[in-house]
Amino acid sequence: MGATGARTAAGATGGKGVLATATGKAALAAAGTAVVASGAFVAVQATGDDRPTRPAATAAPTAVVRVASQSQTQTVASLPIQLDNAQYVTVSGLRDTALQQRVNAALRAPVDRALRIGRQFASDPAARRACAGKPEKVRTTVETGLSGPRLLSARYDLFSDWCQSADGQPPGEVVTLDLTTGKRLTATDVFRAETLTKAGLARLKRLVPERDPQPGDMSWHERCLRDEGFTRAHLSPTVVPGNTSVSGDSPPSLSAFLTPTRFELAWFTSGSDGCHRGRFAAPYGKVRELLKPEFAALLPG
């Protein structure tokens, strides 16, 4: 997992939204990790013999981005739930301990959701009978995109074997964070308001085609009957008040995933027919005008 390359962002005036102020130092490559500056510094030195020299400020601590994994077993109503080498992203080295805790909680959230789905499944007496004593295995895999200096984006896939009594996968999700605030960015932080209209989303769909389709294969749109287009609901989480079922609360079906070289849209729903995952991609320059200016200013290129 490499860092995104050198990038310096200048501070902007306030009052322009969550991403109005852009600060950061260069991202440095390290084997298996991404080393990211967590703040900016400016060295100021006065000139002239009769003026004192102000000492240069020291560099801010760096944030190190890694992929960790966890395995554990817990039992719910006599059914073992095995967390099987679940991957998640971690950040260390931020100056603000509370900020670092918020960032890591957000990056750990998909693993916690996988466990919650497992516990909900195990709580169903019919599911336990179908399992016939076999454990339920859940896990996550993660792909890291941008790793600073300001934005961190990670794409999670979630899996469950439903103790081999059923098929289908829970929906995955994208976690994109502002490392200076710990805020998890939503569609309204990423896209201009006009992009989130019916006409704007139709244009977004045209500009961001399916990533690397196989020659001769049907497209994702044809295969999955998704030619009705992207909607605002696809970009919003599903929230079911008082939900206690596996099929309840879910993250958005469609999310922006930021990589060092391109803008991607990740499609996630539950299922097993190949339509529960989709990837669409375009160069940043192709979609920049659809994005909020203060957000676009933080992207590569």
Q: What is the pLDDT of residues 148-166, one digit of tens each?
A: 999 999 999 999 999 998 8
Whole-number Å distance between alpha carbons of 254 and 30: 31
The model's pTM is: 0.77
The CB-based long-range contact list for 224-228 (8 Å cut-off, 24+ gap) reads: 224/273, 224/274, 224/275, 224/278, 226/275, 226/278
No. of H helices and E strands in the chain? Answer: 7, 10
How confident is the model over 103-118, as a mean pLDDT? Answer: 95
Q: Which of 1-15, 147-161, 210-224 has the lowest mean pLDDT?
A: 1-15
- Model confidence over 50-73: pLDDT tens digits? 444 444 444 445 679 999 999 999
Phi, psi of 250 (to 5 degrees): -145, 155
Per the prediction, the chain carries an average pLDDT of 79
More confident residue, 294 or 225: 294
For residue 132, give both structure tokens: 């016939």
Note the pLDDT of residue 210.
84
162 in the Ramachandran plot: left (φ > 0), alpha (ψ -120 to 50) or beta? left
Residue (of 283, 243, 247) closest to 127 by Cα position: 247
Domains of the chain (ranges plus CATH)? 28-43+56-296 (3.30.565.40)
How confident is the model over 190-202, as a mean pLDDT? Answer: 97
